[in-house]
Every structure is written in structure tokens, then in C-alpha cells.
Structure 1
């Protein structure tokens, strides 16, 4: 399967338009049409209806495979280029917002760093494809257990920090006076669904064996301050690392006592990092 044809197909399906896909890819519309026809001939199945432009059932199945396949190709290219390239000055660090704890911030060099705050799922891909030198990801885990990351490419991970987690509640919430809270007792509470700014509800469900944790409001952003403001306004509870949850005006951070979980942060890289990236990894491992 020709990856150029596959990339054209994914772009047409995303835009639902041959002309818009041609503009993005830098081809003529006729060339894109020929790409799709060639891919359909190769696979022996129609992939798109033309009016309207939409994936067929076979095309939908191909889309499920296409993203990981193209990402792997981009990662392979970036890995080879990384080996052949001269060491770069400066450092690009892709990170989730709640991975930037005090241990990480204290290890950053004083100059030459570009921070890219991304949704969790995008951090490994940024490192794999070479748009970031290093990545920082975080999540819930049992103490000393590694995070379960999507396998996008051969990446090396190191645990750099673990800290307790707290439930963030409005100051007037009935549970605000508790010394600790059990996650299983909060399955039916009103929760904020903020997968990229807080610890994702899917991880809470997994930790309790499938509790409800129904969202009262979904926040699709990476700004932790916006998230805590939503909690203050009573739109729902959220689970955060202790440092991020403590000291927020108008809220109370109650420690999570069961199950025994921590907020874990890991650094990831491809190949053997050099220069500023290698130095930051060394500092992070020393700080952890």
C-alpha cells in the first residue's frame, strides 16, 4: 500500500472534499482523484462515496488503520533523521499541563527551552515524529507502576516523579470537611470531564473497576486555572495532583485515601537524546 495514496485518502476523508484535500496536499484535484482511484484498485474495494464525499464501510475500516500506520512512518523518518543530524541547540519539550510539577520546573535549563502544552494523546506522537525533543506525560498509577501509554513508536520512558492526588471541591461542598475521600464513594458525584487538564475520568473508572463518574460538564482545554474556576463555580469535582489542587481560592483539596494511587510523571524520548535533551533527562532522573 503506497503511503502517499493513503495520506491522500485520509486527507480527503477528513475534509469530505477532494478540492480542499488537494489544496492542503499541494496537488491538483485531478491528482488526488487519481490517488484515491489507485488505492481503491489496489485494495479491491470502494473507499469513498462521491456525492457526498464520505467513507464507505471499507473506507471507515481503513481509517482505523491509517492513523497509526502513517504515524509509524513519520516516526521512522524522524528516528533516522535524528541519528544522522548534528546536535541541535535549544530544546523543545512537549508536556501535559499537570506534568509540570516543581521537580520538572526546577530541572529546566535557564534558557533555550520551548514548552508545548498538548493534550495527553498528542505528546508521544510529538516525540515520535520529531516535533519535540522530549515529552512529559502523566496519569494515575499504583505507586512505582509505569503508565500505560499508546504504542505509537519505539520510545523510551523513565519515571521522574510521583505525588499524592486530591479531590478538588468547592469550599461549600458537603464533603469539603472530610479528612480523606474514597474514590469508590464518589462514582455518582458531579464530575468535570477534562481529559487534558485533569486526571481523565477514564482512569478513575479503571481504578474503581468501572464506576460511573458521569460528567456534568466537559472542558476541552489544557488550562488548569480554567478547570479550577469551573470547580469553584460548582460545575463539578476534579482529581488533580496534590500540588495543583492545594491553595486554590474558593476550593478545598481533600486527599484521596483509597484506592492507593499516585500522580505519576514520566519523561519519554526516542533513540539516545543528546545535548540539552540529554542533560534535562539526567536532571529529571536525579530530581526524581
Structure 2
């Protein structure tokens, strides 16, 4: 059995689009042409990969297995395209970046802006996602680079992905302004708490458990603006890392430094080999330079800044 890589990628387009007609429109082909390639691929594969229906297509078990391989092929082809951009000395190329919200609001804009000034023809697309979704996007070939975090160390679930530490940051207790600062977490055993994303909420619970109590989580939200508004109105207390407080600081909250709150570790994650792709490597260097200016490489004077399109979606 020999599978045509081109047909495998056409199959991936159909699986991702959800129907043959939608994939045909994206490819700029006719629907019969796409169907013909799929039919030949299924004959070569020895069985059906897709189940056709009035509402679209669904994957067979064999189709799901092939889609996983097709994602890897697409990712490797994208790396090959970016490597070829090296011959033009970064006159072109595209980096698909994923970052969690507070990083997307703080260090990422500075890095993208610096890259746009140094290499205005390199395009960066930004998407917001929490670490598990960001790492899934890397593995699926839908992203090149991700800014992720873990508490008291690297994030879980890295698998075959490469991790590069960026920095670590303090976690502070956030309480309403004017309230009496606690001397320890155990002073807040009877307080109502506000939890963040799953990872932040898990860290909060673990810190409280070490202090001898289980926190009463009254509210949960992964939006640090909402969190601080709730705290400002006396509706609970919480823990937030420094970058979330740098991105937004409500005037009616105060941050208390307490022992035992741990630290959040920020880093870059990518597929092995992506670090040698020129456009990706250039963005990695700018992200490192934002947190460690001494690491910035010497470069010629920057040209006038240009506007680059970039995508942002709240998850």
C-alpha cells in the first residue's frame, strides 16, 4: 500500500472542513475532483476513511488515525516552507504564535512589535489559548510556537515538545483595598475565594491545603479583569501572578506578598526542529529579549515600523 501525500493532505482538508463541498471551496476545486482524490486514497488505504452524510463527513477509526499522521505531515511541510525563507534572509516567512491571555497582553505585543521593526516582511499570527490547548495546536501542526506556563516548574503534558524557560514570576494574594492584610493564608480559611483557569485554580487549592484548609471557591473565571472586579467589591479573595496584575490592576484591590504562594514559570514550547526555522527563531529571540534585555542580539538600526495583521481570540 502506497499513499499519495498530496491526497493525504486533501483528506486532511476535508476532515478539518467537515464536508467535501467546504473543502472544495477552500481548495478552489470542484467537488467531484475532491471526491475523486478521496476515492483513490481510500482504495489505496484499503478501506473507508470518511463516512458521507447529508450534514457532512465523519471519520472512521482508520480516518482518525490517518488524520493524526496528516497533521504531522502538514506541520513538517510548513517547517520546510519556513526553512526555505532562510534563503531570502528573513524576507518573508510566517510564524503562528499561541499565548495565554496575560502573556498575550504583556510580553507578546512587545516581542511582535520588535520583530516587525527588525523584519517587517515576517508575518506573525497570534491566537490566545491556555497551555493545554496551545500545546495541542503545536502537535496538530496548527501553531509554530507557544508561550505557556506551569506552577513551580514546567507545565505538564509536554511529551515530545521542546521547552525553553523564559522567566518566573511571583504569585500574590489579592484582597480588597482597605482590608486588613492577613499574616498568613490560614487567616483566610473562612473567606470566600475566586478561582482562575484550571491550572491557576489547582495551584490555589494546593496552596490553601498546605496552609491547612480547603478554600471555599465561590466564583470561577479565567478573566483577570473580572477576578479583580469581584475582589474590589468584596466578593472574595484570590491569587494572581505578576503578569496578570501588570496587564490590569484594579485601583480598589491590594496585593499582599505571602510565603507559600509559589511561583509561575513562563516558557516557550515548540516542535523539535522549529528553533532553527529563521522566522520562528527570530520571534523566539524577541520574546527572550523582552524578559531579558541583555540577551538581545546586536542588530542594525531598525527601519520604520509597519502594521502587521494578527489574530486574537478569547478562549
Shorter-chain TM-score range: 0.5 to 0.7
Q: 1:90 deviation in Å?
A: 11
Give, in angstroms, the shift of residue 229 of structure 1.
4.5
Q: Is the 8 A contact 2:83 2:277 kept in 1?
A: no
Task: Determine whether 1:161 maps to 2:164.
Answer: no
Is 2:12–2:67's contact at 8 Å kept on the other side of the alignment? Answer: no
User: Which among 76, 87, 92 is matched to residue 90 of structure 2?
Assistant: 87
| Contact 2:104/2:128, CA 8 A, preserved across alignment | no
CA separation of 1:150 and 1:29: change in aligned 2, threshold 3 A:
farther
Superposition deviation, residue 32 in structure 1:
1.4
SS at match of 2:68: helix
1:18 equivalenced with 2:20 (yes/no):
yes
Relative to its length, the structure with more helix (as a share) is 2
Query: 2 CA distance for matches of 1:29 and 1:251?
Result: 58
Distance 1:32 1:91 in 2: 28
Partner residue, 1:245: 245
Q: Which of 76, 79, 95 matches 1:73?
A: 76
Q: Give 3-state SS (helix, strand or coil) of 1:178's partner.
A: coil
2:5 aligned with 1:3, yes or no?
A: yes
Q: Once the 2 structures are TM-superposed, how far is the Cα of residue 191 of structure 1 from its aligned partner?
A: 2.7
Contact 1:205–1:213 at 8 Å: present in 2 too? no
C-alpha separation in 1, matches of 2:59 and 2:95: 40
**Alignment of 1:47 onto 2:57:** no
TM-score after normalising by structure 2: 0.58
Provide the aligned C-alpha RMSD in A.
5.1
Judged with a 3 Å threshold, the aligned counterparts in structure 2 of structure 1 residues 256 and 102 are, in CA distance, closer, same or farther, namely farther
What TM-score, normalized to structure 1?
A: 0.62
Which of 99, 102, 105 pairs up with 1:98? Answer: 102
Match of 2:148 among 138, 142, 162: 138
Query: Which stretches in structure 1 are left out of the alignment for 5+ residues?
Result: none
Residues 1:84 and 1:97: Cα distance change in structure 2 (over 3 Å): same
Give distance in 1, aligned partners of 2:283 and 2:244: 26
Q: Is the 8 A contact 2:230 2:236 kept in 1?
A: yes
2:276 matched to which residue of 1?
Answer: 271
Taking the aligned partners of 2:85 and 2:231, their CA distance within structure 1 comes to 43
Corresponding residue SS for 2:44: helix
Conserved? CA contact 1:163–1:241, under 8 Å = yes
2:129 alignment partner in structure 1: 119
Q: 1:202 & 1:67 partners in 2: Cα distance?
A: 35
Give SS of 2:89's match.
Answer: coil
Residue of structure 2 equivalent to 1:61: 64
- Summarize the Cα distance change of 1:277–1:256 in structure 2 as closer, same or farther, 3 Å threshold: same
Question: How big is each residue's C-alpha offset from its partner over 1:25-80, in whole Å with a ceiling of 9 and x where there is no partner?
Answer: 22210111122222222222222222243324415632661464244323432343
Distance in 1 of aligned mates of 2:59 and 2:215:
34
Structure whose alpha-carbon radius of gyration is higher: 2
Q: Please state how far the C-alpha of 1:87 moved relative to its aligned partner.
A: 2.9
Deviation of 1:137 (Å): 1.2
Q: Is the Cα contact below 8 Å between 1:165 and 1:262 reproduced in 2?
A: yes
Further displaced range: 268-277 or 55-64: 268-277
Contact kept? 1:98, 1:241, Cα under 8 Å? no
Matched, 1:191 2:195: yes
* Change over 3 Å in CA distance of 1:190–1:117 after alignment to 2: same
